Amino acid sequence: MAIAFSSLGSGSKGNGTVVRTLVSDKDSDVNTSSTIVLIDCGFTIKETERRLARLDLTPSHLDAIIVTHEHGDHIKGVGPLARKYNLPVYITAGTFRSKKIGALDDVRLIHRYEPFDINAFHITPVAVPHDASEPAQFIIECDNKRLGILTDLGNISPHVEMHYQSCDALILEANHDPAMLASSAYPFSLKQRVGGAWGHLSNQQAARFLESVDRQKLQHLVVAHISRQNNSVELAQQAFNDVLASIKNVVYACQDDGFDWISLSPYNEQIS
Ligand SMILES: [Zn+2]
Ligand SMILES: [Zn+2]
């Protein structure tokens, strides 16, 4: 079974990552026995429906929502979507107790140091340094393919570094350029927050992490959660310059369009 992933949008105005299994290499039929999960939903129901439709999906195709943390750009639509479509929500107790999500019928509490399964997906939560109650990011595995999702963290802790080795695909935050952030119109406290150890990764932090991590299997890099005010694709590209040559496919996720389906297929194995 292969994994495919895509995004409804990425950035401080809303996030949502869709990950699904593909039963065969040619499979694009969502009505087959695929499993489809949505990680975070920072959009209204209407907007989520519109963005899912771009990917030939409706919310009723989803098997579950998985939540990283309670910031609005990640949970705005989680409660409404889960209630309207009766979806189970996988969430840490701290994030759930933050009360920003409202009542949920089907809560599946997860622990940040205990992997869990949703059908064919084996999911490892990873605790990250971010200014939320109990934030986690995730590594999703299926048939030896490994997708790492890593956004919304202020620094690369040894715990994070240990977990995000040997991914086949990585969605990695490169939030800001430090010089742009310093000279932006953001109030001082917000600059401190975003650039601090519990805020967001700068281009340089993300690039250093990527340089240090085992990239032997890394086929796809998605640069994500790029700030519209304090960054640009060009600046992120410059910072990543030294490592980009070793990665086959590099995509820059954007706020309006996210990114299109990327598949990790065991059927046409590419060894780099
Ligand atoms: Zn965020
Ligand atoms: Zn956040």
Q: Measuring CA to CA, which residue among 130, 30, 17, 3 is closest to residue 67?
A: 17
Ligand nearest to the CA of 11: 1
Q: What is the reported pTM? A: 0.95
- Does residue 272 form part of some domain? no
Q: Which ligand is nearest to the CA of 74?
A: 1
Indicate whether 268 pLDDT > 80: no
- pLDDT above 60: residue 57: yes
CB 239, CB 206: distance < 8 Å: yes
**Would you say residue 271 has pLDDT above 90?**
no
> Residue 154 Cα, ligand 2 centroid: separation in angstroms?
10
Q: Nearest to residue 126, comparing CAs of 146, 141, 111, 147?
A: 111
Whether residue 148 lies inside any domain: the answer is yes
Is residue 269 in some structural domain?
A: no
Judge whether residue 31 has pLDDT over 60.
no
Q: What is the pLDDT of residue 153?
A: 98
Q: 271 in a domain, yes or no?
A: no
Cα of 198 vs centre of ligand 1, distance in Å, is 12
Supply the pLDDT for residue 99: 80
Collect all residues with Cβ–Cβ distance below 8 Å to 233 and sequence separation of at least 6: 223, 226, 252
Nearest-ligand number for the alpha carbon of 132: 2
Could you list the residue range(s) of the whole structural domain that residue 53 is in? Answer: 2-264
CATH code assigned at 258: 3.60.15.10
Whole-number Å distance, alpha carbon 101 to ligand 1 midpoint, is 15
In a domain, 123, yes or no: yes
Beta strand pairing call for 89-92 and 107-110: parallel
The predicted-structure confidence for 144-197, as pLDDT tens digits, reads as follows 999 999 999 999 999 999 999 999 999 999 999 999 999 999 999 999 999 999
In a domain, 128, yes or no: yes
Domain count, the chain: 1
Q: From the CB of residue 250, how many other CB atoms can be counted at a distance below 10 Å?
A: 15
User: Can you tell me the distance from the alpha carbon of 193 to that of 160, in angstroms, rounded to the nearest whole number?
Assistant: 20
